[in-house]
Structure 1
Amino acid sequence: MQNLLNFLYRFRTFGLFLLLEGVCAWLIIAYNQRPNAAFLNSSNSLVAGVNLLTSNTTNYFQLKQINSQLVAENQLLREQLANHSLGKVELDTSKERYILKKARVINSTFRRSMNYMTLDAGLDQGIKPGMGVISGFGVVGQVKSASNSFATVTSLLHRNLLISSSISRTNTLCTVQWDGESPLQAELKYVPRHIPIKEGDSIVTSGYNAIFPKDIYIGKIASFELEDNDVFYNAKIDLAVDFSSVDYVFVIENRMKQEQDSLELEAITE
């Protein structure tokens, strides 16, 4: 305390000078219109700048929470879209055919010829082999195996994975398969030559299996060729999903898959 008093006493003259300067500045601003307006504008700008900085800082630390909320909303919208494509608009969720389960990608490859992903959810979360996997942009792949807490996914960038698809504009059945080249494109197979196709046509899931609902986006036609003797087009599509930056995905549970598979197997074996 004594040191503080000594400090104030030593700089008493300078302190009095600052006090008088402050009083003068206040008198000038308070009783003169133009300095008053300039001061208010400057103070408002300063306060606005501080508020913007505070808001940006707060938003930065809330990004994880905001991202989780967006993923949850996306999950709900995807479920509604999947079930709506079946012509069902029901409030009773127990009757819905498709249920989406959120998972985070914790490991993935996209430069190999056989690419996989690892998810942070498994059997304990209801994820089983054979389930389809999508992101907020489109088809990602299919669950290959699952442990209690994790699951591996056969990526769409896998040369052995075939996706039953259709051209949205013409409703023509076709197949999407990766050719092992660019991670941004895949081949579009078995489109008959009599079908008029064009660049930019949307390719979606056909719904002709028990894995993916109908109309899940896969990509759009980027290029195509048709030789005189070809029965089908040679076409490529730009994939909707950027596999180098997939973070969250949704695993699709089809509650009627077992019933559909058993019925189709019975029809095949007859």
Structure 2
Amino acid sequence: MKQIVLVIALFGTVLAQENFKCPDDYGFYPHHISCDKYWKCDNGAAELKTCGNGLAFDATDPKYLSENCDYHHNVECGDRTQLEPPISSAHCPRLYGIFPDEAKCDVFWNCWNGESSRYQCSPGLAYDREARVCMWADQVPECKNEEVANGFTCPAAGEIANAGSFSRHAHPEDCRKYYICLEGVAREYGCPIGTVFKIGDSDGSGNCEDPEDVPGCEDYYGDLDLKSIRKSELLAGLANSDSGRNQVAKKKNKE
């Protein structure tokens, strides 16, 4: 008997959804139970629409005039808990979204219609799956600090005069990389492209400088055009910032 009542209740819910009546002649209204579906009203006629797989309908417009599907993690679904089954492709659990790499904690993928674009955090940083930004690797639960610091050990407290709790140290093999020690925790970092790390006059100090000013690192970039490299890095940094920190998907719907 309980099963019959449950079936009737579910049938009634589905019927109510399919018989949706437009509150106004024009507008875009959230589905009652599905976060990636919504109703498009045109001249009073309702049409059920579905966002791209991995997107959800943003129902924050109080006037219901905005048709906007955004990345699911950007949308407060509330009681609209149902989603279409996932459609996956390489590096993409769903066709749209931002997803961590399966193996490397400093890599993440931006997926758009199943096509994945690879992004890598700067040296010493890792992709945080909850915040969806690059953070210090030792602050990301999925990462181990030694994976990034390569076993480098910070000097003991008081070993470097006047260094306090912060110091910088050259990487033993890569002119562009260096280590930052903060409160005894080692973090690998990297100079902006086109520059290399130059050890300072005092222990535990240093800055990023032009290669020609750093003995032993003059030919780090070889015959590459550093001006072009720096311009490309700037553009890549802007794109990475847009994709890694403020990911807002424009409307992508399917009938």
TM-score if structure 2 supplies the norm length? 0.24
Which one has more relative contact order, counting CA pairs under 8 Å at least 6 apart? 1
The structure richer in helix per residue is: 1
TM-score if structure 1 supplies the norm length? 0.23
Rg larger for:
1
